[in-house]
Amino acid sequence: MDLAALDTAVAESACKALVLVNPHNPTGRVHTRAELAEIAAIARRHDLLVISDEIHAELTYDSHRHIPFASLSPDAARRTVTLTSATKAFNLAAIRCALTHYGPDRLLALRDAQPPDLYGAVSPLGVVATEAAWRDGDAWQRDLLSVLDRNRRRVHQVLSTRLPQVRHHIPEATYLAWFDTRPLGLTEPPVERVLKEGNVLLDGGSPFGPDADGFLRLNFATSHDVLEDILAGLVQALRPELT
């Protein structure tokens, strides 16, 4: 993370809020305490509201530690809105239940002044499922992280050995692999190439910004056999560019 560039960009703009995604999607980075402390200093220096999306926090691997941004200091807590949910870590997508913790009193008061369903109604099933996941799901999640850890290492192994020109780092959190196909010099978007030649549909980098053209995002939260099929298709589609 280029923190100096972030500081300059904020100083040269009318920016009033900073959206922080930690752990990061799509890169899988877990920001260190030192990085977060510098972001907090930037937020304080420029009086920014920080919206901290921490939905992947429970998918942090053992060698890393997720640090809630609001826990850094009283000032960070006062200026941070934290977003989270059980949906990512416990495979509960579409249950319509998420949590928002408001640090700034003014925003909490503003929220309380709105109609209760302005931002969408919470599903009763979602509430029950979220409570059950966070109360009783520790053993299940440990097993899940073991599977995801194995899968992320397998993706890294295949990319490193079979597609060495594809730039990639092993994710520190999440179930997503993010890799750069630009060194291959493809003449067509990599999403189209991999679908056509490998029969695998991945997410392209374009929705994540213009600097992400040529990247691919792979969801490895699946079974061993399915993952092997995905990786075989990926290699089949991209390997010819290395010959």
Domain containing residue 131: CATH number: 3.40.640.10
Per-residue pLDDT of the chain (243 residues; tens, 9 = 90+): 889 999 999 999 999 999 999 999 999 999 999 999 999 999 999 999 999 999 999 999 998 999 999 999 999 999 999 999 999 999 998 888 999 999 988 888 888 888 878 878 888 999 999 999 999 999 999 999 999 999 999 999 999 999 999 999 999 999 999 999 999 999 999 999 999 999 999 999 999 988 999 999 999 999 999 999 999 999 999 987 555
Q: How much is the pLDDT for 241?
A: 57
pLDDT one-digit tens code per residue, 114-171: 887 887 888 899 999 999 999 999 999 999 999 999 999 999 999 999 999 999 999 9
Angle between helices 224-238 and 190-198 (to 10 degrees): 110
SS3 209: coil
Return the C-alpha torsion angle 59, 65, 68, 72, nearest 10.
-170
Instruction: Identify the residue whose tokens are 């990061």.
Output: 24
Q: Which domain holds residue 233?
A: 139-242
Return the C-alpha torsion angle 64, 60, 154, 2, nearest 10.
-60
Q: What is the DSSP letter of 123?
A: P
Claim to verify: residue 125 and residue 49 sit in the same structural domain: yes
The structural domain count of the chain equals 2
Claim to verify: residue 125 and residue 40 sit in the same structural domain: yes
- What CATH number did the domain enclosing 213 receive? 3.90.1150.10
Claim to verify: residue 86 and residue 193 sit in the same structural domain: no
Claim to verify: residue 174 and residue 158 sit in the same structural domain: yes
Q: How much is the pLDDT for 137?
A: 97
Instruction: Identify the residue whose tokens are 């490193």.
Output: 160
Amino acid at 187: T
Residue 214 backbone phi and psi in degrees, to 5: 95, -5
Half-sphere exposure of 179 (CA within 13 A, CB side): 28
Residues 6+ apart with CB under 8 A from 198: 232, 233, 234, 235, 236, 237, 238
